[in-house]
C-alpha cells in the first residue's frame, strides 16, 4: 500500500481565517462562540459565526454568484494548496473531494424569499449553481485547474471526514493520481438553518457563549458553527519527490452505518465501535497504540453518552488511559465541515505534541467517564491519533493519523 501524507492545510473557523489563529485558539482553549450578528429576530442568539468579508477574497462579480459556503471552501483550499506548494503538477493527477452537509443554504433561502415575496423574475439565475452541494468542489477544481476525479460527499456531519477517507482511498486505488485536495465547508447560520435545528431540539436552548459543553453534565444540545477545512493529501513518494514537507500521515479510514434512525445514534454503540475497530485493523495497530481521540463530541446528551460507550467498546481499558477531547466546545458544530476542521486540529496535535482541551467542562455527564481534557490543553506524547465523525442517518466515520517522522 502507498503511504499517504498530508502536506498542506487551510481553515476558516469562528476564530478567524487561517491556520495560525485556529492553532492559537484551540491550544489556548479560547471560546469562539459569540452573539449572532447577521440576524436578530430568532430565539437562538449565539453561534460560532465567522467574521468574514468576502470582498477581501473575491471580486464583486464572484461574490454575487458564490454562496458563503463556497467562499469559505475556496479560501481554505487556497491556504492548503499554498502551504503544500502544490504547483507545476500534471493537472490530471490531482483530484478534489470536498464535502458539505447543507450546501448553499443561505443563497437558496434568499431566493425562495424572493420568489414568494417579489415574484419569479427576481429569482437569481445563479440559484442552482450557487446552492448545490458539489459546487464547492467544482469551484476549487476550476480555480486551480485540477482535472482529476472530483466528488462531493454529503453524509451529514460525517461528510468531510468521509471526503478525507475517500481521497485517501482514491490515492490508494488510482496509480495515476498523485494528490487530492480534500475537506468540507458549511455556512448554515441562517434563519432556516438555525430554526430547523432549534425546532428539532438539537440546538442548546441556552443563549450564552458557554452553551457548547461536550460530555458535561450540563450539556443540552449543540451550538451551530460555520467554516471550512481543507487538506492536501498525496502519496509520500510524490511529496518527497517534489520536496514537500509532510505534516502527518493518514494510515487508515473506515466507515459503518447504524441503520437505526434518521437522527438518533444506535444506543448499543456497536456500529460506531466497529468502525473504530476496522480502522485500527486497517492501520495494523492495537488499541493500546492510540494516544489521543479527537471526538465528535457534539454536546448533545445522546451523542456524548453513546460516543463514549463506543470508544470504550473499541479501545477497552485503554480508553481510560488516553485523552479524549472535543474541538466543538470551542468553535461549535460546523456540521459537514466539522470532520475536516477537526482533522486539522488533530494534525496540529500530532505536530505540537499537544492535546486541545474540552472547554466549558465542570462535571462529567452520567456514563461519560473518560478523560476529556477539561478546560486546558496538555502536552502529551502522541504518535497515533483517532478522529471520528458521526452524522444524521447513522453515518460513522473514522480516521487513524500518525505523527510523521520520515
pLDDT tens digits for range 328-338 = 999 999 999 99
* Residue 365 belongs to domain with CATH number: 3.40.47.10
Question: Are 247 and 347 within 8 A, CB to CB?
Answer: yes
Q: How many domains does the chain have?
A: 1
In the predicted model, is pLDDT for residue 40 greater than 90? Answer: no
* pLDDT of res. 42: 87
Tell me the average pLDDT across 37-59.
94
Average pLDDT, the chain: 98
Say what angle helices 191-199 and 105-118 make with each other, to 10 degrees.
100
Identify whether 295 is part of a domain. Answer: yes
Residue 154 in domain: yes
Q: Given this model, what pLDDT does residue 373 score?
A: 99
pLDDT category of residue 370 using cuts at 50, 70 and 90? very high
For residue 265 the three cell numbers come to 445514534
CA nearest to 322, candidates 359, 347, 286: 286
DSSP E strand boundaries for 2-70: 4-13, 16-17, 34-35, 46-47
Residue 331 lies in a domain: yes
Q: Is residue 406 situated within a structural domain?
A: no
Average pLDDT in the 210-232 region? 99
| φ, ψ at 125 (rounded to 5°) | -65, -10
Residue 323 domain-assigned? Answer: yes
In a domain? residue 14:
yes
Note the pLDDT tens digit of each residue in 170-182.
999 999 999 999 9
Could you say which DSSP state residue 13 is in?
A: E
* Mean pLDDT, residues 223-233: 99
Domain holding 104, by residue range, is: 1-393
**Predicted pLDDT of residue 41:** 85
Please, which pLDDT band fits residue 145 given cuts at 50, 70 and 90?
A: very high
Residue 250 located in a structural domain: yes
- Residue 199 within any structural domain of the chain: yes
Catalytic residues: 157
For residue 147, pLDDT over 90 is answered with yes
Confidence of residue 406 (pLDDT cuts 50, 70, 90): confident
Amino acid at each position: 500500500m502507498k503511504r499517504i501524507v498530508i502536506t498542506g492545510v487551510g481553515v476558516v473557523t469562528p476564530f478567524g481565517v487561517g491556520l495560525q489563529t485556529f492553532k492559537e485558539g484551540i491550544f489556548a482553549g479560547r471560546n469562539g462562540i459569540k452573539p449572532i450578528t447577521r440576524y436578530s429576530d430568532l430565539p437562538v442568539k449565539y453561534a460560532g459565526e465567522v467574521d468574514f468579508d468576502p470582498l477581501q477574497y473575491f471580486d464583486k462579480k464572484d461574490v454575487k454568484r458564490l454562496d458563503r459556503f463556497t467562499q469559505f471552501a475556496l479560501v481554505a483550499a487556497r491556504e492548503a494548496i499554498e502551504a503544500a506548494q502544490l504547483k507545476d503538477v500534471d493537472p490530471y493527477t490531482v483530484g478534489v473531494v470536498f464535502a458539505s452537509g447543507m450546501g448553499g443554504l443561505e443563497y437558496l433561502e434568499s431566493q425562495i424569499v424572493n420568489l414568494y415575496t417579489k415574484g419569479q423574475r427576481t429569482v437569481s439565475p445563479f440559484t442552482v449553481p450557487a446552492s448545490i452541494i458539489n459546487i464547492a468542489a467544482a469551484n476549487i477544481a476550476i480555480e486551480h485547474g485540477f482535472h482529476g476525479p472530483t466528488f462531493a460527499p454529503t453524509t451529514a456531519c460525517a461528510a468531510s471526514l468521509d471526503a478525507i477517507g475517500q481521497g485517501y482511498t482514491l490515492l490508494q486505488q488510482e496509480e495515476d493520481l498523485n494528490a487530492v485536495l480534500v475537506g468540507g465547508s458549511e455556512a448554515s447560520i441562517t434563519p432556516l438553518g438555525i430554526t430547523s435545528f432549534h425546532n428539532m431540539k438539537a440546538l442548546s436552548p441556552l443563549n450564552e457563549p458557554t452553551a457548547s459543553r461536550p460530555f458535561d453534565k450540563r450539556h443540552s444540545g449543540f451550538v451551530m458553527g460555520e467554516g471550512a477545512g481543507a487538506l492536501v493529501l498525496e502519496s509520500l513518494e510524490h511529496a518527497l519527490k517534489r520536496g514537500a514537507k509532510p505534516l502527518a500521515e493518514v494510515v487508515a479510514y473506515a466507515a459503518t452505518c447504524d441503520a437505526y434512525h434518521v437522527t438518533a445514534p444506535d444506543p448499543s454503540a456497536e456500529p460506531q465501535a466497529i468502525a473504530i475497530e476496522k480502522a485500527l485493523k486497517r492501520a495494523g495497530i492495537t488499541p493500546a497504540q492510540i494516544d489521543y481521540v479527537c471526538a465528535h463530541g457534539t454536546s448533545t446528551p445522546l451523542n456524548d453518552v453513546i460516543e463514549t460507550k463506543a470508544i470504550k467498546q473499541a479501545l477497552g481499558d485503554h480508553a481510560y488511559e488516553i485523552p479524549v477531547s472535543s474541538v466543538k466546545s470551542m468553535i461549535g458544530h460546523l456540521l459537514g465541515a466539522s470532520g475536516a476542521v477537526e482533522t486539522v486540529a488533530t494534525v496540529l496535535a500530532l505536530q505540537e505534541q499537544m492535546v486541545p482541551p474540552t472547554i466549558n467542562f465542570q462535571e462529567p455527564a452520567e456514563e461519560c467517564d473518560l478523560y476529556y481534557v477539561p478546560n486546558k490543553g496538555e502536552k502529551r506524547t502522541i504518535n497515533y491519533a483517532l478522529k471520528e465523525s458521526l452524522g444524521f442517518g447513522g453515518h460513522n466515520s473514522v480516521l487513524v493519523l500518525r505523527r510523521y517522522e520520515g
